[in-house]
Amino acid sequence: MSAAPRAEMHGDAAAMAAEAMALIEDLAAISDEPGRLTRLYLSASHRRAADHVRAQMIEMGLATSIDAAGTVVGRYEGSRPGMPALLLGSHIDTVRDAGRFDGALGVAVALAVVANLARRNRRLPFAIEILAFGDEEGIRFPSTLAGSRAIAGSFDLSTLADRDADGISLADALRAFGSDPAAIAAAARRPQDVLGYIEVHIEQGRVLEHANQAVGLVSGISGATRLGVTVEGVSGHAGTLTMPDRRDALCGAAEMVLAIEDVARGCEQVVATVGRLVAEPGAVNVVPGKVAFTLDLRTFRDAERRRVLGEILERCDAIAGRRGLELHHEVFYDQPTTVCDRALKAGLAATLSRLGLDPIEIQSSAGHDGLALAALFPMAMLFVRCKDGVSHHPDESVSPADIGTAGVVLRHFLEALH
């Protein structure tokens, strides 16, 4: 690393890290639940977080808005008004009992970098728009990526009828948030107005930790299929229904869950997760007659994912048949593997090299807003080292030094982009 970048890594890096950490801590205090961080899409805490991010943008002098899908937008003009924009950002919704950094890090680093440019009155030959999305986690509603799909013009209006666990529709939740569902189409960007999208995110793995490096490149985002599975048997009295006569939906579902695990364990680079399972009628003295569970299936190779899904469904069908159960499934999310844009990735790799960092490439097994945006714009990502690879957990930990390094890398990349 040359002397100038090394000095900057200790100067501007520290300032950007402090600014980013301050926002991350502020957002960590905004939650739907006392005592733990849960900020679901379009909840009251999501609205408070969106307002807080917007206030930060206004304080920086950015032109701000919150679009019809709940995305906070802050625009920093280029060397002249109205130029095409490079999009930066991430999401501010969380999983239940989340860590502080997943999503919030990308918004906070983007704001810190643009604040650095603004302090130096540095205008670039393009505008920058910082986006704080909602619905990246896909926790509240069956659909996901509502914010980024609206920006990409691929929002499915039929999902407005989707309902959460309390029976609230997505359309009604948007209205309660203060948005107009009828205006979602107007949030879409024209390709000629956008140069691309870059997101900074925690790695959610240990590649960078093993390499002893703060920042690396994302080569692509693995594809994912999610489906809801329903197993139907017959309810009955737990005391009087004999074991041979039972058509126990929960026992069948339990066998299916283990079969899913078995199939996935036999395949390289395939992960399968049953994240939610509900048995009905849910009484201690009643044999369950109906079970619903979810399946999340991911791999980097789309053909392999389809093959594995077929094998899983065959195994589950066989279990249902043997136990006298009925099996139904419905795919509610299917996203192909997405490769990061070659030109943006090359620019980020060159920036890492100039700063004395190895341009390590990492394939992301987690989904990101870039999945939706890549369908319309060039997309790239930077990963930041996360202690022990812990993610979706309160123990998420990223050092201020690594955050500062990410800020320096992103800023140098922006200033070299033409």
Per-residue model confidence as pLDDT tens digits over 193-208: 999 999 999 999 999 9
Query: Parallel, antiparallel, or unpaired for β 215-221 and 361-364?
Result: parallel
Q: Phi/psi zone of residue 180: left (φ > 0), alpha (ψ -120 to 50 degrees), beta?
A: beta
pLDDT at position 10 is 60
pLDDT at position 6 is 47
Alpha-carbon separation of residue 281 from 4, 94, 270 (angstroms): 67, 30, 33
3 Cβ partners below 8 Å, 6+ apart?
none
pLDDT category, 290, cuts 50, 70, 90? very high
The label of the residue with tokens 């139904």 reads 328
pLDDT category, 143, cuts 50, 70, 90? confident
Structure pTM? Answer: 0.86
For the cut 80, the answer to whether the pLDDT of residue 1 exceeds it is no
- At 46, the amino acid letter reads H
Express each pLDDT in 293-323 by its tens digit: 999 999 999 999 999 999 999 999 999 999 9
26 Cβ partners below 8 Å, 6+ apart?
52
Q: Which H or E element spans position 71?
A: none
* Chain mean position to CA 42: 15
Mean pLDDT computed over every residue of the chain: 95
Q: Residue 255 in 3-state DSSP? A: helix
Per-residue pLDDT averaged across 127-132, rounded?
A: 98
Per-residue pLDDT averaged across 66-74, rounded?
A: 98
pLDDT at position 191 is 95
pLDDT category, 365, cuts 50, 70, 90? confident
| Lowest-confidence region among 1-15, 94-108, 138-152 | 1-15
Q: Residue 226 in 3-state DSSP? A: strand
pLDDT category, 21, cuts 50, 70, 90? very high
pLDDT category, 340, cuts 50, 70, 90? very high
Name the residue among 279, 287, 283 with its Cα closest to residue 242: 287
Name the residue among 219, 199, 217, 200 with its Cα closest to residue 208: 217
Alpha-carbon separation of residue 359 from 209, 217, 410, 413 (angstroms): 14, 6, 13, 13
> Which residue spans within 143-193 are E strands per DSSP?
none
Give percent of the chain above pLDDT 70.
98
Express each pLDDT in 225-284 by its tens digit: 999 999 999 999 999 999 999 999 999 999 999 999 999 999 988 999 999 999 999 999
CA separation for the pair 415, 407 (Å, rounded): 12
For the cut 70, the answer to whether the pLDDT of residue 4 exceeds it is no
Please report the domains of the chain, with CATH numbers, ordered by start residue.
Answer: 3-222+337-416 (3.40.630.10), 224-335 (3.30.70.360)
- Is-contact 299 269, C-beta < 8 A? yes
For the cut 60, the answer to whether the pLDDT of residue 383 exceeds it is yes
pLDDT at position 142 is 87
The label of the residue with tokens 């679009």 reads 67
141 DSSP 8-state letter:
S
Task: Compute how many other C-beta atoms are within 10 angstroms of the C-beta atom of residue 207.
Answer: 16
pLDDT at position 3 is 39
- Is-contact 155 112, C-beta < 8 A? no
Joined together, the tokens standing for residue 312 give 């899983």
- Is-contact 180 174, C-beta < 8 A? yes
Per-residue pLDDT averaged across 63-90, rounded?
A: 97
CA separation for the pair 77, 85 (Å, rounded): 8
CA separation for the pair 2, 252 (Å, rounded): 63
pLDDT at position 268 is 87
Joined together, the tokens standing for residue 386 give 């996360």
Express each pLDDT in 25-54 by its tens digit: 999 999 999 999 999 999 999 999 999 999
Q: Comparing 368 with 4, which gets the higher pLDDT?
A: 368
Task: Compute how many other C-beta atoms are within 10 angstroms of the C-beta atom of residue 136.
Answer: 29
Query: Parallel, antiparallel, or unpaired for β 72-76 and 85-91?
Result: unpaired
Angle between helices 342-354 and 400-416 (to 10 degrees): 120
Name the residue among 103, 120, 1 with its Cα closest to residue 49: 103
pLDDT at position 8 is 54
12 DSSP 8-state letter:
H
